[in-house]
Structure 1
Amino acid sequence: MHKRNSHNHVVWHESVLKKEDRQALHGHKSLMIWFTGLSGSGKSTVANALQLKLYQQGISSYLLDGDNLRHGINKDLSFSEKDRKENIRRTAEIGKLFVDAGIVVLAALISPYEEDRECARFLFNKGEFIEVYVACPIEECQKRDPKGLYKKAINGEIKGFTGIDDPYEEPKNPDIILKTNEFSVDKCTDKIIHYLFQQINLLQTGKE
């Protein structure tokens, strides 16, 4: 069946290959792992380490890092609330394509608003969107301040910075919580790996 959007002349064309076919080719399920948390909490660090562990286990994955996306597809967006929402929307739509391609896609973005994260989740089938809350006290994030952003925000050089003069809404029901101020990167990635293989059955594609 063809799908239509708000423009009646734009018609969806079905692919001869299905997501399940691509998953079978890769030998595992495909899904979106969404890392959310304050700047400096360790999202990108953990996501990168996880990507390496997945690679070592023969899992096809790709990392969508929020900062990297703002160098390309999202470079036209500011940090206003409206543009933050669009940033999340675009990233989720890209992630949906990766999942359809049979790949495990990781996204590491502050994504401060619960509503936007739920809109991202809505794009995926049940079990295909895993929200990982990278929980770290803002005091620790400020100590780390790997990019010097907190210092600039406190000095008034950056406006609308999450955690300083813009809110961060903690996830209400994340699938995984990582306390990066208490556990090592290795322990955090092991927790996600266990979840993927034990609860999601990552290697069970559903294709016989």
Structure 2
Amino acid sequence: MIVYGKQVVMYLLQYHPQKIEEIYLAKEIEPKLFSMMAKNNRVILRVDNKKAQALARGGNHQGFLAKIIPPTHTPIKDIKKFNRLLILCGITDVGNIGAIFRSAYCLGVEGIVLGLSESISYEGVLRSSVGAMLDIPFCISKNVLEIINELKNEGFCCYGADMKGENIQEVSIKNKWALFLGNEGAGLNRKILSKLDKIVSIKIKNDFNSLNVSVAAGILINRMC
């Protein structure tokens, strides 16, 4: 798996060096930084910009790329051992997913379930999360309704984000919770909403119809954690 961009490569070097198999450099760097990259006999390859662009599939690599061990899923039975969870329902934009991972890790979420019926680019999620995807246990489930039942059986209070919900500032948050977020187009569907314990929303002061899902996630998580 190839990731690129100085920020994410530096994050991996600092916090997950064991994940890095090779580093590709398309620019000159300081000797001190090169020495840090070369620790533990790590392979460093010099590549020209054409090769770097091919590895990054045209993305803005900033001269820094790495081949890494892909992120691994955590079994749902282990995810359920935590107290603060996010369930992303039908969100497929890797930029949004990555931003949610980043906010979730910063604010104290302990596990994430990706409710997806299709595959997504882990490279894109990892890059947009600036590495945080490697720091939060996550799994994938195609059956969100089943997840709700499992979480309730484990004592979770299941909250859902919807514009018609109760103001999050006025809601008493349980110690063990799961927050369900839908995609920006359709939100959470009726079947999911009907099974949740509480529907919450963010009070919007100006006349505007919605927030980006990753922004909304950050606001809600900050209130709930």
Q: Does TM-score exceed 0.5, indicating one fold?
A: no
Greater RCO, 1 or 2 (C-alpha within 8 Å, sep 6+)? 1
Q: Rg bigger for which structure?
A: 2
Instruction: Provide the TM-score with structure 1 as the length reference.
Output: 0.31
More strand by share: 2
